[in-house]
Amino acid sequence: MLIQQVFNGLALGMGYALIAVGYSLVFGILRLVNFSHGAIYAFGAEMAMLTISLKFGVLPGILAAMILTGVLGIVIDKVALEPLRKKKSPQIASLITTIGISNIITNLLIVFIGSEKRNFQPIFSQTTVTIGNISISMTQIMMCIVSLLLMSVLMIIVFKTKIGLAMRACEQNPKAANMMGINVNFVISFTFFLAGISATIAGALVSGYYQIVYPNMGFMAGLKAFAAAVLGGIGSLPGALLGGLIVGVSESMAATFLGSTYRDSLAFIILIMVLIIRPHGLFGRKGITKV
Amino acid sequence: MRKSNIAILLAASITVGMLAGCAGHAPESGSGSGSSGGETIKIAVAAPMTGDNSEYGIGFYNAALLKAEEWNQKGGVLGKQIEIVQYDDKNTSEEATTVAQKIVSEKDIVGVIGHFASGVCMTAAPIYQENKIIEISPSSSHPDYSSIGNFIFRNNTIISKEGAASIDIAINDLGKKNIGIISIMTDWGTNTSSIIKDLISKTDAKVVAHEEVMEGSDDYTPAITKLNEAGADVVICCGMYNLVAPVAKQYKQINPDIKIVGFSNSYSQQLIELGGDAVNGVCFPVIFFSESDNEDVKAYVKSFTEKYGNAPSALTSQAYDSVGILLTAIEEAGTTDSEAVREKIAAMDYKGVTGDTKFDEKGDVDKSFIKVTIKDGKFVKLD
């Protein structure tokens, strides 16, 4: 049972990791915790449900949802955050703006789609692999594979491409990067686009796993993913992955051994303990001023 | 949590606005909408109209409208038209208190049909009792609900009777002896699961595991893994369709042979929509079944389906009868004075679509159950 629960937790954690990546990407560049990310995740999942129901197939549906959600990320940045940056508003203004945006997105979803839980068709085959007395569903395995794949693609983008170089430059010093001819606003928008894409993949995978989708799904998941990002060291992609897995597995363990009441709190208890010992998270670098 | 509360509040206020708009167009409001001068007899329907359990609340409201329309066509009651007023409690106790106080302060409401969840009913009921407003809940099944006062009734059986019927399905119809229980952590869920455990201990079957889960969390795999390890061959789900559907899905992924038994509150089209293939074979007892051969039921199902496009669920039909009970009592009493109406309700033997309703001294009813299962995405009688 222990191993079985570890696998349940890993699948859950992969979902968190994919959401946490979005927090880390944006934080890495803007030093801003983008609290609208949970809502973007729910938006991505809802869009995936809608586009898949258009019968163009599962993959084109998810791709369309990814682009839509990526564009939403850019729109958020252009409409709400870029004006604030131009006016050199304090960080707290951007922070509260992202919280506001999160509510706006969720409420618009409720107005246009409805607040009830809806069925999300399974993306992967419903077969189960049985090893000994452990049964792992195909969906769980595919979730892990897709997450790892996406994580490596993101790593390649950030560390091996020109735009990645620009992203890292903006992270170190936006002013200097600007003087070197980097279009900082474009890089930031691109980052929001990437965050939106990873959120959609997370949304589609998690909704496909539980076969449930609803506008408020991003709230708790977003909060836990944020905990995962901080746990792993916010701004670090491998940190987001490890943090997500730790949160997922600990949640699964808490539900098993302590009862379901404790599952939501244990992730945060671990977070607090890690932060006391390592204030910058597991993979975090020193010298980062946190919001 | 503050963020989510604000989100819910905002969302709800927008949606309530929209719903209120819809309600304004409802044909039954006819003569008396907006007038408080007493030309109409007002009955409140207080239930979740938005959010996760909105299906039930909207069902209550639709059923009440249908019943009121039938009476209005015959000339109303006491020579006045009947008006159904909708209140959204979002299935939370906080909202229900506000709603109850609002209803109490509107002097011309003669009775309340609602609320939905037992816990919510029980926070609102003392307010109605204190102000001598009749409350008939179509759905509350918590044992303590009806003893709150003599103005508090329910057109639903208390959970121990329904629980016995669910256990009967699990042990006798499905022939299983190793029972797992999964229950939501609400007043109703915890209480139901302890009653079920108590009832099972009196049979030759045994409870192999009991897992409590948070209502509305999507991931039930840890609980399911534990139930499966304990060797459960049937699972009794103490929760609504939003628990039964995901549990059925997630359980069947690791054990396709598992049998699932629910309660009458999972009798909802949403169960099939949310659960898909996984809910085939789910069984539960109901007081009302829309495929019944009874002529009255057939006529009612027909007019309901014509008006709303889908067959009524059990709880919706219990709301339909609840309105009937209230209106009949007003007619018999010849007044809307709540004391007189209350006495008529207490003494009434009402024949409706959900069987004979006769309240005992607490305000509870006893009804016979029909066993229902899902076959190929449709509700059918269990053979």
Q: Per-residue confidence at B31, pLDDT binned at 50, 70, 90?
A: very low
Rg of the Cα atoms in chain B? 20
B206 lies in a domain?
Answer: yes
What secondary structure letter does DSSP report for B84? E
**pLDDT of residue B196 exceeding 60:** yes
Interstrand relation of B234-238 and B178-184 (parallel, antiparallel or unpaired): parallel
B151 lies in a domain?
Answer: yes
Q: Which residues in chain B are closer than 8 Å to A220, comparing Cβ atoms? A: 217
pLDDT digits (tens, 9 = 90+) for A274-289: 888 888 888 876 655 4
Looking at the structure, tell me whether residues B227 and B264 fall in a common domain.
yes
Looking at the structure, tell me whether residues B148 and B260 fall in a common domain.
no
Interface test with A, best of B92, B225, B227 (most A CBs within 10 A): B225
Looking at the structure, tell me whether residues B175 and B228 fall in a common domain.
yes
Per the CB < 8 Å rule, is B225 touching A118?
no
Q: Which residues in chain B are closer than 8 Å to A263, comparing Cβ atoms? A: 214, 217, 222
Looking at the structure, tell me whether residues B147 and B172 fall in a common domain.
no
Per the CB < 8 Å rule, is A115 touching B52?
yes
**pLDDT of residue B230 exceeding 70:** yes
CA geometry: angle at B127 spanning B125 and B130, to 5°?
Answer: 105
Looking at the structure, tell me whether residues B18 and B122 fall in a common domain.
yes
Q: Which residues in chain A are closer than 8 Å to B185, comparing Cβ atoms? A: 260-261
The per-residue pLDDT for A114 is 81
Given a contact cutoff of 8 angstroms between Cβ atoms, the answer to whether B374 and B280 are in contact is yes
Distance CA A91, CA A75 (A): 19
Given a contact cutoff of 8 angstroms between Cβ atoms, the answer to whether A145 and A201 are in contact is no
For A88-107, what is the mean pLDDT?
91
**pLDDT of residue B125 exceeding 90:** yes
Looking at the structure, tell me whether residues B79 and B6 fall in a common domain.
yes
The per-residue pLDDT for B84 is 94
Given a contact cutoff of 8 angstroms between Cβ atoms, the answer to whether B348 and B325 are in contact is yes
Given a contact cutoff of 8 angstroms between Cβ atoms, the answer to whether B151 and B129 are in contact is yes
**pLDDT of residue B24 exceeding 60:** no
For A124-131, what is the mean pLDDT?
78
The per-residue pLDDT for B25 is 39
Looking at the structure, tell me whether residues B98 and B233 fall in a common domain.
no
**pLDDT of residue B67 exceeding 90:** yes
Given a contact cutoff of 8 angstroms between Cβ atoms, the answer to whether B179 and B198 are in contact is no
Residue with tokens 């899905």: B249
Q: Which two tokens stand for residue B336?
A: 């809307």
Given a contact cutoff of 8 angstroms between Cβ atoms, the answer to whether B326 and B134 are in contact is yes
**pLDDT of residue B32 exceeding 60:** no
Q: Per-residue confidence at A291, pLDDT binned at 50, 70, 90?
A: very low
**pLDDT of residue B54 exceeding 90:** no
Burial class (CB in 10 A: 0-12, 13-18, 19+), B354: buried
Mark which of B249, B266, B286 sits at the end of a domain.
B286
The per-residue pLDDT for A268 is 85
B166 lies in a domain?
Answer: yes
Q: How many helices (H) and strands (E) does chain B have?
A: 12, 14
> Is the minimum CB–CB distance between B250 and chain A shorter than 8 Å?
yes
For B234-244, what is the mean pLDDT?
91
For B55-82, what is the mean pLDDT?
92
B207 lies in a domain?
Answer: yes
Residue-number span of the structural domain to which B208 is assigned = 159-286
> Is the minimum CB–CB distance between A89 and chain B shorter than 8 Å?
no
Longest Cα–Cα distance of chain A, Å, equals 61
Residue closest to A39 by CA, chosen among A62, A22, A61: A22
Q: Residue B177 maps to which CATH number?
A: 3.40.50.2300
pLDDT digits (tens, 9 = 90+) for B155-171: 998 888 889 999 999 99
Interface test with A, best of B218, B226, B279 (most A CBs within 10 A): B218
Name the average pLDDT for chain B. Answer: 85
Distance CA A94, CA A29 (A): 14
Per the CB < 8 Å rule, is B222 touching A255?
yes
**pLDDT of residue B64 exceeding 90:** yes
Which of A 206-265 lie inside 8 A of B, CB atoms?
A: 210-212, 214-217, 219-220, 252, 255-256, 259-261, 263-264
CB count in 10 Å sphere of residue B179: 26
Beta-bridge partner residues of B317: none
Q: What percent of chain A has pLDDT above 90?
A: 38
Per the CB < 8 Å rule, is A135 touching B212?
no
Which of helix, strand or coil describes residue B215? coil
Per the CB < 8 Å rule, is A117 touching B274?
yes
**pLDDT of residue B16 exceeding 60:** no
H-state helical runs in chain B: 2-25, 54-73, 93-105, 118-130, 159-168, 187-200, 221-229, 241-254, 269-275, 295-308, 314-333, 338-347
For B238-252, what is the mean pLDDT?
90
B67 lies in a domain?
Answer: yes
The per-residue pLDDT for B13 is 55
Looking at the structure, tell me whether residues B316 and B272 fall in a common domain.
no
Overall number of domains in chain B: 2
Residue with tokens 């024949």: B351
CA geometry: angle at B59 spanning B306 and B54, to 5°?
Answer: 135
For B133-155, what is the mean pLDDT?
91
Secondary structure, 3-state, chain A: CHHHHHHHHHHHHHHHHHHHHHHHHHHHHHCCCCCCHHHHHHHHHHHHHHHHHCCCCHHHHHHHHHHHHHHHHHHHHHHHHHHHHHCCCCHHHHHHHHHHHHHHHHHHHHHHHCCCCEECCCCCCCCEEEECCEEEEHHHHHHHHHHHHHHHHHHHHHHHCHHHHHHHHHHHCHHHHHHCCCCHHHHHHHHHHHHHHHHHHHHHHHHHHHCEECCCHHHHHHHHHHHHHHHHCCCCHHHHHHHHHHHHHHHHHHHHHCCHHHHHHHHHHHHHHHHHHCCCCCCCCCCCCCC
Interface test with A, best of B5, B185, B229, B253 (most A CBs within 10 A): B253
Q: Per-residue confidence at B290, pLDDT binned at 50, 70, 90?
A: confident
**pLDDT of residue B174 exceeding 50:** yes
Which pTM value belongs to this model?
0.76
For B264-275, what is the mean pLDDT?
86
Distance CA B301, CA B317 (A): 9
Looking at the structure, tell me whether residues B36 and B146 fall in a common domain.
yes
Q: Per-residue confidence at B262, pLDDT binned at 50, 70, 90?
A: very high
Q: Which two tokens stand for residue B278?
A: 């996984």
The per-residue pLDDT for B11 is 54
Looking at the structure, tell me whether residues B227 and B278 fall in a common domain.
yes
**Nearest chain A CA: its distance from B68 CA (Å):** 28
Looking at the structure, tell me whether residues B282 and B301 fall in a common domain.
no
Q: Per-residue confidence at B219, pLDDT binned at 50, 70, 90?
A: confident
> Is the minimum CB–CB distance between B215 and chain A shorter than 8 Å?
no
**pLDDT of residue B264 exceeding 80:** yes
**pLDDT of residue B34 exceeding 80:** no
B382 lies in a domain?
Answer: no
Per the CB < 8 Å rule, is A260 touching B7?
no
Between chain A and chain B, how many beta carbons pairs sit less than 8 Å apart?
104
For A112-132, what is the mean pLDDT?
80
**Nearest chain B CA: its distance from A290 CA (Å):** 21
Per the CB < 8 Å rule, is A255 touching B242?
no
Per the CB < 8 Å rule, is A118 touching B273?
yes
For B283-299, what is the mean pLDDT?
88
Q: Which residues in chain B are closer than 8 Å to A219, comparing Cβ atoms? A: 3-4, 7
Which of A82-91, A221-230, B20-29, B334-343 bottoms out in mean pLDDT, i.e. has the lowest?
A: B20-29
> Closest to B226 (Cβ–Cβ): which among A118, A119, A256?
A256
Distance CA B328, CA B138 (A): 16
Q: What percent of chain A has pLDDT above 70?
A: 98
B323 lies in a domain?
Answer: yes
For B323-328, what is the mean pLDDT?
93
**pLDDT of residue B182 exceeding 50:** yes
B364 lies in a domain?
Answer: no
Looking at the structure, tell me whether residues B197 and B133 fall in a common domain.
no
Long-range CB pairs of A173-182 (<8 Å, 24+ gap) are none
Q: What percent of chain B has pLDDT above 70?
A: 90
Q: Residue A123's Cα: distance from chain center in Å?
A: 19
Interstrand relation of B134-137 and B152-154 (parallel, antiparallel or unpaired): parallel
The per-residue pLDDT for A290 is 41
DSSP letter for each residue of B237-250: EES-HHHHHHHHHH
The per-residue pLDDT for A189 is 92
The per-residue pLDDT for A44 is 94
The per-residue pLDDT for A280 is 81
For B290-302, what is the mean pLDDT?
87
Q: Per-residue confidence at B8, pLDDT binned at 50, 70, 90?
A: low
Q: Which two tokens stand for residue A62?
A: 């998810």
The per-residue pLDDT for A39 is 95
